[in-house]
Structure 1
Amino acid sequence: MSRPARFKRILLVTGALVVGLAFIVLMVSLKPPPAQQPRDDALRTVRVIEAEALPYRVRARGFGSVTPERSWRAVASVGGRIVYRHPALESGNLIEAGTRVLEIDPTRFELAVAAAEAELAGIETEIRQLEQEKENTADLLALERQRLTLAEQELDRVERLARTGALSQTRRDEQVRATLQQRQAVQSLDNRLRLIPSQLDHLRARRDGARTALEQAREDLADTRFTAPYDIRVHQTEVELHQQVRSGELLFVADGIETAEVVVQVPIPQLRQLLGAAELPADPVGLELAGRLNLESIEAVLHLSANPQVRWPARVSRIASGIDPRTRTVQLVLSVADPWRSARPPQQPPLVRGMYVEAVMAVPAAEPRILVPLAAVHQGEVHVADADDRLRRRPVELLLSQRDLAVIAAGLEPGERVILDDLAPAIEGMRLRVVPDPEAQRALAERAAGAAP
């Protein structure tokens, strides 16, 4: 390519670039500026309520399964054949207290009772006979001692005569032999009388053993019959009529229907608030709470988990198992009295073993606190409107939160206007149009005071 042609081409390219740049500059200069949005902080309308200290109820919730307060596990103490089984001894049936529900064949135990009674009667007869023999021997010993006294007196007289020669030696010897025989008779009776107490002790020991055997036989006989000790609901049955059972074998399980219990776990902070136990240390593991807390002050109710409309009044009866240091919870035991007698199926079913329920516990707080709707707390802050109707963000410390309420421990003062609406974005100092909401204020006070659960 010649030099003039190359120069001409460079001029064309340069001209094209200049024209393109001029066009771009022209388009940028002709572009309209961004539309100016009016300041919307002067247009934001918010609903507010006035922060005030309100009386409120502290509430706690927990879940658990129903268990009977008393459960009867009928275990055979003796073996034998089942000769009677109540027709209602089936799972789910109710049986009144005092009803005979099961019986093991009592024949051999009745025979054992008869044999023990006969043995005891024989020993009693021997004791009476020996006691009478003791009296007879004592009377006979008294007579023989009188005869011995006479014989010794006669021997003394004979020896005096023998010394003077008025009586032969043969007659003296005869009297000596008679006196010795009488002494032997007295000694024999005395020995016999001394042996009788030990013989009586032996018989009395045998009598005590016979009485023990008789009591054991009667206990075994009583163990053949099973009578409901209280009103029961049969949970499970393991035996049938005419079945042979062994000692120690489980026969059936029945639940008492007077009281039902539910064990629920409550975190330690909730329990402290629930009981107003501010004097407790921050770490009460190992502390025996049961003797220090007034459990009767807690109002409680149970709800059927599948149907919250079904409810039973309850009471907190005790603390079970103390404190669990791993989960930092306390096990509270709630009791429901007469869950069967107050039942009205199907609207109000009875509480039965294994039913899953929710426990709601409440107690009036020890002192009023500032409460706000939980929705008014934004990541640890509450938005308020200051005296100039500008937004201020208040960091707050929550004492507790329950359902849709937050109890403020610090960061908010009475009289401040709390914003109920969720502002996005919430810019510090933005202007507001403030509208008091008396209905929300009244509803907050009502929810705080609440009603018994």
Structure 2
Amino acid sequence: IARLYAVDFAEVRLPLPDRELRWLDLPLGYAELPAEGPEITLRAEFAGEPHEWRGQVVRTEGEIDARSRMVHVVARVEDPYGRDDPTLRRAPLAVGLFVQGEIEGRTLPGVFELPRAALHDDRAGEGDRVHVIDAEGRLRVRPVEVLHTERETVVIGTGLAPGERVSVSALAAVVDGMPVRVSGESASPADVASPTPPAADGEPRS
């Protein structure tokens, strides 16, 4: 008895939390993916060096894992062993290799990416907030809509305007409207909020 594997393409099964599906153009019901599904980059370390392979998501599986609540998508990588182009200096995407995947997501216009230190979590039923410094040098507590959270950053949907200054300093006591002093632009505790440019890799990442 032998196992046979295709060498013209490889398929990789990837689990996704259901909360991440809102950022991806993937069908959730009885529908086919478009002719070209979302692009995906697979990364792994092999023989002590980092490698990556590019492919596309070709389908989703029609079930949700009962334990992990994960939805599985299947990505396809053409020529995983470099048979068609021997000049490629990369490791083969061999069966059994553990990889991490980054799927191209939707572009979100008019959003803001801030350091997580700028976000103040809901602790008194007031929702997520940031501290904005107005033109008069007063601190304003501003409710915002958090669209996505990363390890170091958050993506804000509504609540900010281009050019507003957002404080990232940890303040012991905050009163809306209290005067604050910015010690100079080069050493300021405030960052200027600016719209996040459209990301080539479709941030937020999944």
Determine which structure has the larger strand proportion and give its number. 2
CA distance in 2, matches of 1:330, 1:294: 19
TM-score, length of structure 2 as denominator length: 0.73
Q: Which one of the candidate residues 313, 316, 326 is aligned to 2:54?
A: 313
In our comparison, the structure showing a higher alpha carbon Rg is 1
Q: Is 1:406 equivalent to 2:147 in the alignment?
A: no
User: Secondary structure of the equivalent of 2:171?
Assistant: coil
User: Secondary structure of the equivalent of 2:24?
Assistant: helix
4+ long deviations beyond 4 Å: 305-308, 342-345
Once superposed, what is the RMSD of the aligned Cα atoms?
3.3
Q: Which one of the candidate residues 325, 348, 351 is aligned to 2:93?
A: 351
**Equivalence map 1:47-196=2 (5 Å):** none
CA distance in 2, matches of 1:385, 1:294: 45
* 1:326, distance to aligned residue in structure 2 (A): 4.9
Partner of 1:423: 170
Output the amino acid matched with 1:303. Answer: R
TM-score, length of structure 1 as denominator length: 0.36
CA distance in 2, matches of 1:299, 1:441: 32
1:263-320 per-residue CA deviation (whole Å, 9 max, x = no partner) reads 1111223112222x8xx9xxxxxx62543x5483522100005778411011101112
Partner of 2:6: 256
CA distance in 2, matches of 1:364, 1:309: 27
How many residues get paired? Answer: 188
Q: Which one of the candidate residues 117, 126, 135 is aligned to 1:387?
A: 135
User: Secondary structure of the equivalent of 2:157?
Assistant: strand
Q: Gaps spanning 5+ residues in structure 2: where?
A: 122-127
* 1:357, distance to aligned residue in structure 2 (A): 0.3
User: Secondary structure of the equivalent of 1:339?
Assistant: coil
- When residues 452 and 413 of structure 1 are mapped into structure 2, their CA distance, relative to the original with a 3 A threshold, is closer
User: Secondary structure of the equivalent of 1:272?
Assistant: helix
1:14-55 per-residue CA deviation (whole Å, 9 max, x = no partner) reads xxxxxxxxxxxxxxxxxxxxxxxxxxxxxxxxxxxxxxxxxx
1:169-220 per-residue CA deviation (whole Å, 9 max, x = no partner) reads xxxxxxxxxxxxxxxxxxxxxxxxxxxxxxxxxxxxxxxxxxxxxxxxxxxx
CA distance in 1, matches of 2:92, 2:135: 58
Q: Gaps spanning 5+ residues in structure 1: where?
A: 1-249, 281-286
- When residues 372 and 328 of structure 1 are mapped into structure 2, their CA distance, relative to the original with a 3 A threshold, is same
**Equivalence map 1:288-367=2 (5 Å):** 288-291=29-32, 294=34, 296-304=36-44, 309-324=50-65, 326-341=67-82, 342=85, 348-367=90-109
Output the amino acid matched with 1:258. Answer: D
Q: Which one of the candidate residues 258, 261, 267 is aligned to 2:17?
A: 267
